[in-house]
Amino acid sequence: MILFSKSSGVNNAQIGKLETPIKMLIQSESDACIKNDKIRKVLFNVENSKKFGETFVGQTEFEVFKVTEEGAGATNDTVKETYTKFISHLQYMKEFTITAEMMEDANFGVAADAKRRAENFTRAYYKTMTQACALALANGTKKELDFAGGKIDTTVFDGLPLFHKAHKLTAVEGKTQCNRFCSANLESPENIQALLGELAVRMRNLTNEKGDETLNYTADTIILPGNQAKEETAFKKALGSELTAGSNINDINIQFGNWNVIVLPNWVAKKPEFMIMSSEANKNLSGNMFFNRVPLTITNWVDNHTGNYIWNGRCRFGIGFGTYKHIMICEQGDKVDGCEPITLA
């Protein structure tokens, strides 16, 4: 959604010729961008917010029902708060200018330069949101992301980065869980098939905060860097074949048809690595979160000193991670600092 404010210079004839066409261009470009806004909407839970930030609160779950003798009362059960995580909304702004000379020469419709600026202005808004989401994931091994002159918090509720080998269970002293791994060869379809099976089991066996119950979520999404052509090809071979790669006895490929593959163009990895995610866990556990606080709001006016026509865009949104239990990363290498190694048989 894009909101337009009332122009302060609508009584100017030249501005009147430009204002409505530019609004139409911006709105039209917005409609096209919405259709292509797939990365953010597929990988993140997109919600609206009316607060200065959003807080997530984790709680323990009720125990199973207890057998009770006839006439006896039920056992009282309670839930306890296990963690909180706050996601703040940041403000993003941009302007573009149409010079007085350009307005004077735009006798009919919008001048070519004005049209390009209006279209680029809208694309820049959607590009900002998409890049922020993609780079927040790509930098999930760090505690924060430097982006567009600000900082996005990439930690989860335990204060550790999204991807870490020792996330702490808040209701159990000394127990941890891992969602950051490494393995020797991420460019072999055979290894990839075996590795996906191993990681899927590990995601399924992640537990609640008390450590006494597995969450049983199924990984169904693979996320790849945009600059790893050899690795991307290997994944497509590993997932596109009905048979197990490297097998001479026609074993079935149990990974075939089980995954959606998403490539993040803005994720420029220094070595082969990939993520797996459960879309169900992402939704149910509030994993990757994107909050629209203020949609793109556009105001326009005439600068009295120059006669130029200025368009200003402002928006606020928040990005963060409510948990780590919906996603895992695997990096190439037998032993990588900060990773738990996976050795394939």
Task: Give the model confidence (pLDDT) of 136-192 as tens digits.
Answer: 999 999 999 999 999 999 999 999 999 999 999 988 888 999 999 999 888 888 888
Is residue 201 within a helix (H) or strand (E), and if so which, with residue range?
A: helix 189-204
Give 71's Cβ-side CA count (13 Å radius).
0
DSSP state of 261: E
Contact 294, 132 (CB under 8 A): no
Plot region of 72 (φ>0 → left; ψ -120 to 50 → alpha; else → beta): beta
Report pTM: 0.83
Which residues are 163's β-sheet partners? none
Contact 13, 19 (CB under 8 A): no
Task: Report the alpha-carbon distance of residue 59 to residue 109 in Å, rounded.
Answer: 58
Task: Report the alpha-carbon distance of residue 239 to residue 261 in Å, rounded.
Answer: 9
For the chain, strand residue ranges (E) read 2-4, 45-48, 53-59, 81-88, 90-98, 144-147, 150-153, 167-168, 176-177, 180-183, 221-225, 260-264, 273-277, 288-302, 309-321, 327-332, 340-341
Q: Give pLDDT, residue 122.
A: 85
Cβ count near 235 (within 10 Å): 25
Q: Give pLDDT, residue 27.
A: 79
Task: Give the model confidence (pLDDT) of 64-96 as tens digits.
Answer: 677 777 777 777 666 566 667 788 899 999 888
The residue among 321 and 307 whose pLDDT is bigger is: 321
Contact 116, 21 (CB under 8 A): no
The residue among 201 and 250 whose pLDDT is bigger is: 201
> How far apart, in Å, are the Cα atoms of 233 and each of 113, 144, 189?
40, 31, 9
Percentage of residues in the chain having pLDDT higher than 70: 82
Task: Report the alpha-carbon distance of residue 244 to residue 231 in Å, rounded.
Answer: 17
Contacts of 67 (CB under 8 A, 6+ apart): none
- pLDDT at residue 215 tops 80: yes
